[in-house]
Amino acid sequence: MIDAHLHVVDVASVQVEAHLAPSGAWWERVDPAADAVLERVRTAGVERAVLVQAIAAHGYDCSYLLSNARPGVALVGAVDPFGPDPVVALDTLADAGIDGLRLFSIRSPRPWLAGDVGRALVARCVERRVRPSVCVLPNEISALVELASAFPDTEFAVDHVAFAADDEQLAVLAAQVNLCPTVTATSPVSVDTAMRWFGTDRLSWGSDHPQHGAEYPIPVDLSAARRLWFGGSVDR
Protein backbone atom coordinates (compact mmCIF):
# COMPACT_ATOMS: atom_id res chain seq x y z
CA MET A 1 0.00 0.00 0.00
CA ILE A 2 1.38 3.40 -1.03
CA ASP A 3 0.25 6.92 -0.22
CA ALA A 4 1.40 8.92 -3.25
CA HIS A 5 0.64 12.43 -1.97
CA LEU A 6 1.55 13.60 1.53
CA HIS A 7 2.79 16.93 2.87
CA VAL A 8 5.13 17.65 5.78
CA VAL A 9 5.87 21.04 7.29
CA ASP A 10 8.36 22.49 9.71
CA VAL A 11 6.14 25.04 11.45
CA ALA A 12 9.12 27.02 12.71
CA SER A 13 10.27 27.82 9.18
CA VAL A 14 6.97 28.44 7.37
CA GLN A 15 7.20 31.23 4.79
CA VAL A 16 4.16 33.35 5.55
CA GLU A 17 4.26 35.04 2.14
CA ALA A 18 3.95 31.64 0.45
CA HIS A 19 0.42 30.91 1.71
CA LEU A 20 -1.37 29.47 -1.30
CA ALA A 21 -3.44 26.85 0.49
CA PRO A 22 -7.13 27.25 -0.35
CA SER A 23 -8.02 25.81 3.06
CA GLY A 24 -5.83 28.30 4.92
CA ALA A 25 -2.91 27.54 7.21
CA TRP A 26 -3.74 23.86 7.67
CA TRP A 27 -0.35 23.21 9.30
CA GLU A 28 -1.61 25.13 12.33
CA ARG A 29 -4.57 22.76 12.82
CA VAL A 30 -2.70 19.45 13.02
CA ASP A 31 0.86 18.35 13.70
CA PRO A 32 2.45 18.47 10.21
CA ALA A 33 5.94 17.31 11.23
CA ALA A 34 7.28 14.39 9.21
CA ASP A 35 7.53 11.99 12.15
CA ALA A 36 3.91 12.65 13.16
CA VAL A 37 2.59 12.37 9.60
CA LEU A 38 4.47 9.17 8.84
CA GLU A 39 3.36 7.60 12.13
CA ARG A 40 -0.27 8.11 11.07
CA VAL A 41 0.57 6.58 7.70
CA ARG A 42 2.13 3.50 9.29
CA THR A 43 -0.77 3.09 11.72
CA ALA A 44 -3.13 2.98 8.72
CA GLY A 45 -1.17 0.09 7.24
CA VAL A 46 0.48 2.08 4.45
CA GLU A 47 3.94 0.73 3.68
CA ARG A 48 5.42 3.47 1.49
CA ALA A 49 4.87 7.20 1.20
CA VAL A 50 5.53 10.03 -1.23
CA LEU A 51 6.28 13.38 0.43
CA VAL A 52 5.42 16.29 -1.85
CA GLN A 53 6.87 19.77 -1.32
CA ALA A 54 4.31 21.89 0.56
CA ILE A 55 4.68 25.02 -1.56
CA ALA A 56 1.95 26.83 0.36
CA ALA A 57 4.03 26.55 3.53
CA HIS A 58 7.66 26.44 2.36
CA GLY A 59 7.64 27.86 -1.15
CA TYR A 60 10.58 26.46 -3.09
CA ASP A 61 12.80 25.90 -0.07
CA CYS A 62 13.00 22.11 -0.02
CA SER A 63 15.41 21.81 2.90
CA TYR A 64 12.85 20.33 5.31
CA LEU A 65 11.61 17.88 2.69
CA LEU A 66 15.16 16.76 1.98
CA SER A 67 15.89 16.31 5.68
CA ASN A 68 13.32 13.52 5.80
CA ALA A 69 14.90 11.05 3.40
CA ARG A 70 14.37 7.56 4.78
CA PRO A 71 13.64 4.01 3.53
CA GLY A 72 10.22 3.59 1.94
CA VAL A 73 9.78 7.33 1.36
CA ALA A 74 10.01 9.14 -1.99
CA LEU A 75 10.65 12.89 -2.06
CA VAL A 76 9.10 15.26 -4.60
CA GLY A 77 10.80 18.65 -4.60
CA ALA A 78 9.99 21.85 -6.49
CA VAL A 79 11.88 24.70 -8.14
CA ASP A 80 10.81 28.24 -8.96
CA PRO A 81 10.09 28.27 -12.71
CA PHE A 82 10.76 32.02 -12.72
CA GLY A 83 14.03 31.75 -10.81
CA PRO A 84 17.42 32.63 -12.32
CA ASP A 85 18.10 29.07 -13.55
CA PRO A 86 15.41 26.47 -12.79
CA VAL A 87 17.39 23.65 -14.40
CA VAL A 88 20.41 24.30 -12.18
CA ALA A 89 18.04 24.36 -9.20
CA LEU A 90 16.70 20.98 -10.31
CA ASP A 91 20.24 19.62 -10.56
CA THR A 92 20.88 20.74 -6.98
CA LEU A 93 17.77 18.88 -5.79
CA ALA A 94 18.66 15.80 -7.83
CA ASP A 95 22.14 15.77 -6.30
CA ALA A 96 20.47 15.97 -2.88
CA GLY A 97 18.38 12.88 -3.61
CA ILE A 98 14.90 13.89 -4.75
CA ASP A 99 12.82 11.28 -6.58
CA GLY A 100 10.41 13.65 -8.31
CA LEU A 101 9.99 17.26 -9.38
CA ARG A 102 6.72 19.05 -8.74
CA LEU A 103 5.88 21.25 -11.72
CA PHE A 104 3.55 23.57 -9.84
CA SER A 105 1.61 25.82 -12.21
CA ILE A 106 -1.21 27.17 -10.09
CA ARG A 107 -1.68 30.94 -9.84
CA SER A 108 1.42 31.53 -11.93
CA PRO A 109 1.98 35.12 -13.07
CA ARG A 110 2.29 33.90 -16.68
CA PRO A 111 2.13 30.60 -18.56
CA TRP A 112 5.32 28.51 -18.52
CA LEU A 113 4.45 24.83 -18.31
CA ALA A 114 4.41 23.99 -22.03
CA GLY A 115 7.08 26.57 -22.92
CA ASP A 116 10.85 26.47 -22.88
CA VAL A 117 11.16 26.29 -19.08
CA GLY A 118 8.72 23.42 -18.66
CA ARG A 119 10.30 21.43 -21.47
CA ALA A 120 13.83 22.06 -20.21
CA LEU A 121 12.86 20.89 -16.74
CA VAL A 122 11.24 17.69 -17.98
CA ALA A 123 14.19 16.97 -20.28
CA ARG A 124 16.54 17.27 -17.31
CA CYS A 125 14.19 15.12 -15.21
CA VAL A 126 14.55 12.38 -17.81
CA GLU A 127 18.35 12.72 -17.78
CA ARG A 128 18.50 12.66 -13.97
CA ARG A 129 15.86 9.91 -13.56
CA VAL A 130 13.59 12.25 -11.64
CA ARG A 131 9.82 11.75 -12.00
CA PRO A 132 7.94 14.82 -13.34
CA SER A 133 4.82 15.48 -11.28
CA VAL A 134 2.47 18.22 -12.47
CA CYS A 135 -0.01 20.28 -10.46
CA VAL A 136 -2.39 22.34 -12.61
CA LEU A 137 -5.97 23.55 -12.66
CA PRO A 138 -8.30 22.51 -15.51
CA ASN A 139 -7.54 25.65 -17.51
CA GLU A 140 -4.03 24.28 -18.11
CA ILE A 141 -4.94 20.72 -19.04
CA SER A 142 -4.22 21.57 -22.68
CA ALA A 143 -0.74 22.83 -21.72
CA LEU A 144 -0.16 19.65 -19.70
CA VAL A 145 -1.12 17.51 -22.68
CA GLU A 146 1.17 19.54 -24.94
CA LEU A 147 4.07 19.02 -22.55
CA ALA A 148 3.40 15.30 -22.12
CA SER A 149 3.10 14.86 -25.87
CA ALA A 150 6.64 16.20 -26.26
CA PHE A 151 7.93 13.37 -24.02
CA PRO A 152 5.80 10.36 -25.02
CA ASP A 153 8.10 7.81 -23.38
CA THR A 154 8.00 9.55 -19.98
CA GLU A 155 5.19 9.02 -17.50
CA PHE A 156 3.97 12.11 -15.66
CA ALA A 157 2.30 11.97 -12.28
CA VAL A 158 -0.66 14.39 -12.19
CA ASP A 159 -1.67 15.80 -8.82
CA HIS A 160 -5.36 15.66 -7.90
CA VAL A 161 -6.34 14.42 -11.40
CA ALA A 162 -5.62 18.02 -12.54
CA PHE A 163 -8.79 18.99 -10.64
CA ALA A 164 -10.77 17.71 -13.65
CA ALA A 165 -14.45 17.88 -12.81
CA ASP A 166 -16.32 16.73 -15.92
CA ASP A 167 -16.23 14.04 -18.58
CA GLU A 168 -14.75 16.35 -21.22
CA GLN A 169 -11.73 17.20 -19.07
CA LEU A 170 -11.28 13.59 -17.96
CA ALA A 171 -11.45 12.39 -21.56
CA VAL A 172 -8.64 14.75 -22.59
CA LEU A 173 -6.44 13.49 -19.74
CA ALA A 174 -7.26 9.85 -20.40
CA ALA A 175 -6.40 10.15 -24.09
CA GLN A 176 -2.82 11.18 -23.24
CA VAL A 177 -1.60 7.75 -22.18
CA ASN A 178 1.59 8.88 -20.39
CA LEU A 179 -0.39 10.95 -17.88
CA CYS A 180 -0.84 9.04 -14.61
CA PRO A 181 -3.17 10.89 -12.23
CA THR A 182 -3.14 10.74 -8.46
CA VAL A 183 -6.65 10.79 -7.03
CA THR A 184 -6.82 12.51 -3.64
CA ALA A 185 -9.30 13.97 -1.19
CA THR A 186 -8.83 17.24 -3.09
CA SER A 187 -9.79 15.75 -6.46
CA PRO A 188 -13.28 16.71 -7.67
CA VAL A 189 -13.84 13.12 -8.86
CA SER A 190 -14.16 10.00 -6.76
CA VAL A 191 -11.78 7.05 -6.81
CA ASP A 192 -14.43 4.97 -8.61
CA THR A 193 -14.85 7.59 -11.34
CA ALA A 194 -11.09 7.96 -11.75
CA MET A 195 -10.71 4.18 -12.03
CA ARG A 196 -13.29 4.04 -14.82
CA TRP A 197 -11.33 6.60 -16.82
CA PHE A 198 -7.75 5.56 -16.11
CA GLY A 199 -7.75 2.04 -14.69
CA THR A 200 -5.59 0.94 -11.77
CA ASP A 201 -2.43 0.71 -13.89
CA ARG A 202 -2.32 4.48 -14.53
CA LEU A 203 -3.82 5.64 -11.26
CA SER A 204 -2.28 6.33 -7.84
CA TRP A 205 -3.99 7.17 -4.57
CA GLY A 206 -2.83 9.93 -2.25
CA SER A 207 -4.35 11.15 1.00
CA ASP A 208 -3.20 14.79 0.67
CA HIS A 209 -2.78 14.45 4.42
CA PRO A 210 -2.65 16.49 6.60
CA GLN A 211 -3.92 19.34 4.44
CA HIS A 212 -7.52 18.25 4.81
CA GLY A 213 -7.88 17.35 8.46
CA ALA A 214 -6.17 15.54 11.29
CA GLU A 215 -7.85 12.20 10.60
CA TYR A 216 -5.98 9.97 8.18
CA PRO A 217 -8.37 8.50 5.58
CA ILE A 218 -8.84 4.85 4.72
CA PRO A 219 -6.15 4.07 2.13
CA VAL A 220 -6.91 2.80 -1.36
CA ASP A 221 -4.63 0.29 -3.08
CA LEU A 222 -3.88 1.45 -6.64
CA SER A 223 -0.98 0.06 -8.61
CA ALA A 224 0.64 2.95 -10.51
CA ALA A 225 2.35 4.48 -7.48
CA ARG A 226 4.73 1.56 -7.04
CA ARG A 227 5.93 1.83 -10.63
CA LEU A 228 6.11 5.62 -10.71
CA TRP A 229 7.84 6.28 -7.40
CA PHE A 230 9.63 3.06 -6.47
CA GLY A 231 10.30 1.47 -9.85
CA GLY A 232 13.63 3.18 -10.57
CA SER A 233 12.88 4.63 -14.04
CA VAL A 234 11.00 7.62 -15.42
CA ASP A 235 10.51 5.93 -18.79
CA ARG A 236 7.73 3.59 -19.77
pLDDT (mean) for 214-222:
90
Question: What are the pLDDT digits (tens) for 117-165?
Answer: 999 999 999 999 999 999 999 999 999 999 999 999 999 999 999 999 9
pLDDT band at 107 (very low <50, low <70, confident <90, very high): confident
- pLDDT confidence of residue 109: 87
Question: What are the pLDDT digits (tens) for 190-200?
Answer: 999 999 999 99
Domain ranges of the chain: 2-230
pLDDT of 23 over the 80 cut: no
- What sign results for the dihedral spanned by CA atoms 96, 42, 31, 187? positive
Between CA 153 and CA 82 the distance in angstroms is: 27
pLDDT (mean) for 226-235:
89
Question: What are the pLDDT digits (tens) for 56-84?
Answer: 999 999 999 999 999 999 999 999 999 99
Q: Kindly state the DSSP code that residue 46 receives in the 8-state scheme.
A: -
Helices (H), the chain: 34-43, 55-58, 63-66, 86-96, 116-128, 141-149, 167-175, 191-202, 224-230
Question: What are the pLDDT digits (tens) for 158-168?
Answer: 999 999 999 99
pLDDT of 101 over the 80 cut: yes
pLDDT of 36 over the 90 cut: yes
Q: What is the CATH number of domain 2-230?
A: 3.20.20.140
